[in-house]
Amino acid sequence: MAKVSLLDELLFLFKLKPGWRHPEPVMRKDAVKSLHDQALLRNIIENDPELTVRTAAICNITDATFLLQLATNAQDNRIKRAALASLGPRADQDLLQKLLEPGNNLEIRRMAVQHLQDLQVLAALANGDPDAEIRIEAISRVADDAQLMERIAANDPVKGVRLAAVKRLRGAEAIKKVMAKENETAIIQQVMKIHGQNRELLEELARMPGKTTVQQDAQKALVALKPKKEKPPKVKAAIKIPEDKPLSAMPVNGKCDICLCPLRAGYCHEIDKKRFKGIVEKGFNPWMHDIRLPSGLPLAEMGAALGQSTSQQYHAWKEKVYADSTNWILCSRCYQYARHHLS
């Protein structure tokens, strides 16, 4: 650590030198966070010897062209990651495909997948990228494609990739085809966990020839499904879940519970908490739609900054939905996506 002289301390104390020129990296980093002069920020990125100072400066860069140059040409992968994170949805799709080329840094490639919008490229990555982690990331982002998920779940050589695809299988026929080839206990158990309430499917799996493990796990799931002796039901008035209603008055928090955008009276809807849980059970997944935060960033960006994949973000959100005890307030845009799953 550089030794700071008394003269330097006095100069900075009386603001005779800017904070970004302080000899201590920690002080420079703090000072850079409040800078918005683009020319000065570029100078710091190109010349400051401390990596943490340079990455802090990248966060305040607004010039997408310069960020693209950093993401493409920087020697340090940490600079590339910071530039990609700052670019977010502004990232050039051609650049992302270039960064996805095999041989590039794995974390850079994974970040590129998180920003990629081309569904055909995502499908190709999910099905054939040489890196298993990239295939898993692409599976979490690719559009619903039953044939693609079945092909990956049945044929990928890596257990973790097959497991990611199995989690997105829905059709009984596809599941039976995959189970006919699968020998990994963890994947078989995952299927039983996801489809453990489907008695017809479990009965077919329990009779599957030549698949002892599948038969045994299906039989266990069927045993768990056997109805308990039920007491005569108490006669009570049926509980009616309220219908969704547009709100004529501004909600207390004033923000959409999904995308956090400001709400306007008359342009937002309240959904009963039980009804909303039913919508989620029927497949509503905000990460599968073009839902963006007020900043313009996709939902996935919020968790990606903390190192969470789209799938991890969705499952954490789903647990929150099931634990929530209040009604949900949605803006008109998010409501339109959710209403497709209403009964």
Which structure tokens are listed for 324? Answer: 């929530």
Give the pLDDT score at 142.
87
Confidence of residue 241 (pLDDT cuts 50, 70, 90): very low
Give the pLDDT score at 91.
67
Q: What is the DSSP letter of 73?
A: H
| Total length of the chain | 343
Which structure tokens are listed for 191? Answer: 């299927």
Confidence of residue 136 (pLDDT cuts 50, 70, 90): very high
155-169: average pLDDT? 88
203-218: average pLDDT? 81
Distance CA 176, CA 243 (A): 38
241 or 21, higher pLDDT = 21
Give the pLDDT score at 132.
92
* Sign of the C-alpha dihedral computed for residues 209, 211, 216 and 221 taken in this order: negative
Indicate the average pLDDT of the chain: 79
Give the pLDDT score at 135.
92
Q: Where are the alpha helices (DSSP H) in the chain?
A: 6-13, 25-32, 38-47, 51-58, 64-73, 77-87, 93-99, 106-115, 119-128, 132-141, 146-155, 159-166, 172-181, 185-194, 199-206, 212-225, 273-281, 299-304, 310-323, 332-339
Q: Of 89, 92, 108, 88, which Cα lies nearest the Cα of 100?
A: 108
Count the Cβ atoms, other than its own, within 10 Å of residue 56. Answer: 24
First to last CA, the chain: 64
